Amino acid sequence: MKKPALILLLIFSCLLLTGCLPGDGRNSEARPAGFLWGIWHGWMAPISLIVSLFRGHIRIYETANTGWWYDLGFYIAVIGGFGSIELVRKKKR
């Protein structure tokens, strides 16, 4: 019973989160994407890659951005992976 509910919740969450992908028209030259949008787009990069295969206007990287700050946020999120930056790794015994 828990497994179908978990799968349904995962699918619903992915559909909900795709509303904020790069290239959706939310950001423009007048309102460029900043540092926090860079972090968000970095976390969503794997989903953006899949969606961009079916929708031409969706991109992995927002072209209307603030520059260095957006890039920093994007790369922090991509390298950290879904918000879990581990500076100290625990070794298994």
Tens digit of pLDDT for each residue in 30-74? 889 899 988 888 888 888 888 889 888 888 888 889 899 999 999
Quick count: other Cβ atoms within 10 Å of Cβ 27? 20
Using pLDDT thresholds of 50, 70 and 90, give the confidence band for residue 83.
very low
Q: Is the Cβ–Cβ distance between 36 and 72 less than 8 Å?
A: no
Query: Is 80 exceeded by the pLDDT of residue 3?
Result: yes
The residue-averaged pLDDT of 69-83 equals 83
Residue 90 has pLDDT above 70, yes or no: no
Tokens of 31: 């309102």
Compute φ and ψ for 33, nearest 5 degrees.
-75, 135
Which among 81, 70, 66 is positioned nearest to 36, based on CA atoms? 70
Question: How many residues are recorded in the chain?
Answer: 93
Angle, CA of 23, 84 and 3, to the nearest 5°: 85
pLDDT recorded at residue 89: 57
More confident residue, 93 or 13: 13
Backbone φ and ψ of 19, nearest 5°: -70, -10
